[in-house]
Structure 1
Amino acid sequence: MSLKINSFTKIIFSLIATVFFISCNQSPEEAPKRQAQKTPSIYKVASDAGFNFKQDTLYFKTEKYSGKQYELYPSKDTAFVKSYLNGMLEGVQKLWHDNKILAEERLYIANKKEGVHQNWWENGKPRYKYHFYNDEFHGEVLEWYKTGHLFKKFHYTNGHEEGSERLWYEDGSVRANYVIKKGKKYGLIGIKLCKNPYEKSIK
């Protein structure tokens, strides 16, 4: 009889652990996809004296700029290409290291961060990969050391941490491992939720 009870208890605990694990690692609700508008194929060098900013809007002389803005390294290789529509960042923006390796690729819609934003170290290894929706973190946030080892894996929903959050040291050992549920931090040990001892100091 006791063996049956123990087996039944293990099954129940196993089911609870599975449900909790899934709930902590669920992806955020799928946000409606927003599309960037097409910008004119007009290219002007960023150092042109006609460019000027008024707050966060780019003007060329007296008109809000629509087109591409670029800059070159002394070697004549491309340093960056940015695209604007009515003076605001619109579409994919790209930057390169001076060794011709792509450094950054970001998407903007009306000056707001959108979709996947990626950055690479000078050696070509990934530096970060963020997901945005309407200028807020929404989805996975990943960061790497220059060596290529993962440093950070966080999850966000509408700009707020939610779900499994992990940090690593450069040697691969775990630095932090916790779960955010409704704004509260918890450590996960087996199937038991343990309150984070640093919760009060973090707030």
Structure 2
Amino acid sequence: MAHQAQLRNKIFIVALVALAFGCRLKYNEGLTELPLFNSEQLSLTMNNGLAFSAGKPFSGRIFSFYQNTKDTAEIVGFLNGREHGEWKKFYPADKKKEVRYFKNGQKTGSYNAWWENGNKQLEYIFVDDEYEGTCKEWNEKGELSRIMNYSKGQEEGEQKWWYDGGKIKANYVIKDGRRYGLLGTKNCINVSDSVFKN
């Protein structure tokens, strides 16, 4: 009986280690092993959406600086000429501007951006180069300005937009490809605004 418990514990530990190691390999696949180059020391050309160096599709990460300050402006990556891995952009003084991910030329995972004052600007999710799930945008003051929901790159479900100050601009639902609700277009006036005006 004790032997079975020990065997079960050993199998559990081996499975746990294999799972953790396998997930780590998949997450880091092709992202950290790429060599790093200074953009000033590399001649890179773009042709049909592919990056080339010395006439060959480029693989590696490239960093560039702001000219006057030598602060990092961006770090981007390519694999076989296609956008790949984590891409970061910065405002001067090394303040975050954008962080996004690519896999073999397609947008994937989270895409986050910030205003220069440090407030969040947007938060999107991509799967296979298309919007997926809930995407959010904020104005420079930090007020939520949009919540959009997507499925396979198409609007699906609740969509809301706000003017600066929080007044609703659009509030609609996409269901089975049809739109229902307040669209926020020029001729679409919120009934409560027009009927109950003093």
Runs of 4+ with >6 A deviation: none
What TM-score comes out, normalization by structure 1 length? 0.72
Q: How does 1:17-166 map to 2 (within 5 A)?
A: 37-39=29-31, 40-48=33-41, 50-73=43-66, 74-166=68-160
Query: Shift of residue 49 of structure 1?
Result: 5.4
Q: What's the % identity of the aligned pairs?
A: 30
Letter in 1 for 2:177: G
Residues 119-159 of structure 1, C-alpha deviation per residue, up to 9 Å, x if partnerless? 10001101111111101111111111000001000100001
What TM-score comes out, normalization by structure 2 length? 0.74
Letter in 1 for 2:114: W
Query: Shift of residue 45 of structure 1?
Result: 2.4
- Measured in 2, the distance between the counterparts of 1:99 and 1:150 equals 26
Per chain length, whose mean CA-contact separation is higher, i.e. which structure has more relative contact order (CA < 8 Å, sep 6+)?
A: 1
What are structure 1's unaligned runs of at least 5 residues? Answer: 1-33, 189-195
Query: Shift of residue 116 of structure 1?
Result: 0.8
What are structure 2's unaligned runs of at least 5 residues? Answer: 1-25, 189-198
- Measured in 1, the distance between the counterparts of 2:36 and 2:78 equals 11
Higher share of residues assigned helix: 2
- Measured in 1, the distance between the counterparts of 2:113 and 2:135 equals 12
Which deviates the most, 74-83 or 148-157? 74-83
- Measured in 2, the distance between the counterparts of 1:131 and 1:156 equals 9
Is the Cα–Cα contact under 8 Å of residues 170 and 184 in structure 2 kept in the other structure?
no
